[in-house]
Structure 1
Amino acid sequence: MLSAKQIQELFEVLNQKLFEQGEIGEIGIIGGAVMCLVYQTRQATRDIDAIFHPSHVIRKLADEIATEYHLDSDWLNDAAKGYLRDSFQKEDVLQLSNLRVWAPEPSYMLSMKCMSARWDTHDREDVISLIRHLKLKNAKQVFEIIESFYPKNKIPPKTQFFIEEVFENLK
């Protein structure tokens, strides 16, 4: 598990490696890493789901770091990149000499978490934290946010049930 402090330290190591190679990198973090590093609502996350550029350089350096620090090979991965849309604002998390780290705006994070609506993960707790952060009062407000990023016909029924149950439990 990676704590917020460890995530930041690993990004600093990655920044140094980018500097040594004369490269500039950018990482967009999503999922648990955002909840740890940005919102401090989780103590740790298993890995860092992200999109990154230049991908071949960062992937190679992440492999080196995994070996040096005895981390899982997928400590930094782009497995979720297919789920990202381009319609959100990026908020800077960390700006180092050769590495920029950003996260999606909170409303987009909420939308992503609701769309995935996985019961066997931290999604429920993350959604509750984001609802509180955004000061939302009802499911209708959450659906309006989701529909601002995703077409209504692409929102799965499980998302509706998930959100309704979250608000039932918030009462």
Structure 2
Amino acid sequence: MDMFNNLGLMDKNKLLEIFDYLNERLKENQLQLEITIYGGSVMTMVYDNRPATRDIDCVFTETNFKLLDNILDLTKFAFNLSDGWINEEIREPLKSILKEDKETYKIYSNLKILKPKAEQLLAMKILAARPEPAKDFIDAYILCKDLNITTKDKLLDVCSEYIPLTLIGIRQMNFIKYLGEDLGYDWE
């Protein structure tokens, strides 16, 4: 068993294998599914800045949930995944999002995977602003670099498109300040 299995982590290759497997089970059951992935799974698969993630933060479209639950149980067993490997708790913070800006990540025969655009993901990371061991700070740093955000005003402009700035509290302000410092800017 490799290091990732021992820790219950899923690297990019394992995530892609899981999605391939899910697609095959969906095809066998003549079920179409659209899934939007967030958080660590996006950072692992799209930005290659994380070696792995513990869960797949996601939201499913309306479907036959009884059949889907059976397919997810089969997937959990086939890949020896831990409980909570599929995490739909992202639904709660999504209630604070002003708009969703999704784009297609990958299309299989019976499975379509969407992801939020980098700007939305960055706004969600700023809003979360969780302390370590959460990877929000590292993720926000990578996203700021990717989006060429060099000023606090530009960062807040991006955030304001996706979250009400009234939700920015002391924790988020400190997060932004230290993010600016790490990027080499003074964002007081």
TM-score (normalised: structure 1): 0.94
Greater Cα offset, 6-15 or 82-91: 82-91
Query: Match of 2:73?
Result: 63
Deviation at 1:114, TM superposition (A): 0.5
User: Which residue of 2 is the match for residue 105 of structure 1?
Assistant: 117
Instruction: Check the 8 A contact 1:63/1:73 in 2, yes or no.
Output: no
Is 1:170–2:183 an aligned residue pair?
yes
User: Match of 2:93?
Assistant: 83
Q: How far is the alpha carbon of 1:29 from its aligned partner?
A: 0.3
Partner secondary structure for residue 105 of structure 2: strand
Work out the CA distance in 1 between the residues paired with 2:170 and 2:64: 34
Say which is worse superposed, 102-111 or 45-54, in terms of deviation.
45-54
Which residue in 1 is equivalent to 2:172? 159
Q: Which residue of 1 aligns with 2:147?
A: 134
Aligned residues: 171
Query: Deviations for 1:56-88, whole angstroms, at most 9, x for unmatched residues?
Result: 243331122111221112212211112123612
**1:93 aligns to 2:105 (yes or no):** yes
Q: Which has the larger radius of gyration?
A: 2
Moved over 4 A (4+): none
Residue 129 of structure 2 aligns with which residue? 117
Give the Cα separation in 2 of the matches to 1:129 and 1:44. 16
Question: For the Cα contact (< 8 Å) 2:98–2:161, is it kept in 1?
Answer: no
> Secondary structure of 1:44's match?
coil
Instruction: Say which structure is richer in strand.
Output: 1
Unaligned runs of 5+ in 1: none
From 16, 21, 27, the equivalent of 2:29 is 21
Per the TM alignment, residue 55 of structure 1 is displaced from its structure 2 partner at its CA by 6.8
2:89 & 2:45 partners in 1: Cα distance?
A: 19
1:11-39 deviations in whole A, cap 9, x for unaligned?
A: 01000011011100011000000001111
For 1:108 and 1:134, locate their aligned partners in 2 and report how far apart those are by CA, in whole Å: 11
Task: Provide the rounded CA distance (Å) in 2 between the counterparts of 1:132 and 1:107.
Answer: 12
**Residues 30 and 50 in structure 1, CA contact (< 8 A), matched pair in contact too:** yes
Which stretch has the larger CA shift, 83-92 or 136-145?
Answer: 83-92
Q: Which moved more, 1:156-165 or 1:56-65?
A: 56-65
* Structure 1 CA distance for aligned equivalents of residues 68 and 46 of structure 2: 22
Aligned-partner residue type, residue 140 of structure 2 = V
Q: How far off its partner does 1:51 sit?
A: 0.4
Is the partner of 2:100 in helix, strand or coil?
coil
